[in-house]
Amino acid sequence: QSVLTQPPSASGTPGQRVTISCSGSSSNIGTNTVNWFQQLPGTAPKLLIYSNNQRPSGVPDRFSGSKSGTSASLAISGLQSEDEADFYCAAWDDSLNGWVFGGGTKLTVL
């Protein structure tokens, strides 16, 4: 049972917009910033969004992040087949004094 809650799966067709949610609490998302990671099969995670809504250099602007209260969301617009991957949210938890992850969302491009 992960501290941050994500839907286990999401899907969309090419060109569509999909959103992945990440729900937490006042001790993590409610207080600290959220990062999002993309993991392709057999590879290391890749930072997609940091500090709630910032994109590292090289990440397409099709990817965007937002946060409100104790929840965060990752939006992917103009869905492409290469976006098919697992996505994870993460935040520092002040009660646990450590990082917590969501359980991950497997995105399928139909």
Partner 1 sequence: EVHLVESGGGLVQPGGSLRLSCAASGFTFSSYWMSWVRQAPGKGLEWVANIKQDGSEKYYVDSVKGRFTISRDNAKNSLYLQMNSLRVEDTAVYYCARGGSRNGYWMYWGQGTLVPVSS
Interacting positions 13-42 with partner 1 (CB under 8 A): 32-33, 35, 37, 39
How many residues of this chain bind partner 1 (CB under 8 A)? 27
Identify which range of 17-25, 47-55, 65-73, 77-85 contacts partner 1 by CB under 8 A: 47-55
Per CB under 8 A, 65 contacts partner 1 = no
Per CB under 8 A, 71 contacts partner 1 = no
Residue 11 gets which letter from DSSP? E
Look at the alpha carbons of 50, 51, 57, 63 in this order and tell me if their dihedral is positive or negative: positive
Q: What is the Cα 57 distance to its own chain's centre?
A: 17
Per CB under 8 A, 82 contacts partner 1 = no
What does the angle CA 43 – CA 45 – CA 46 come to, to the nearest 5 degrees?
115
Distances (CA, A) of 106 to 8, 25, 26, 79, 101: 6, 23, 26, 14, 14
Per CB under 8 A, 99 contacts partner 1 = yes
Identify which range of 9-17, 49-57, 59-67, 76-84 contacts partner 1 by CB under 8 A: 49-57
- Integer Cα distance of 29 and 25 in angstroms: 6
Residues contributing to the site for partner 1 (CB under 8 A): 2, 32-33, 35, 37, 39, 44-47, 50-51, 56, 86, 88, 90, 92, 94, 96-104
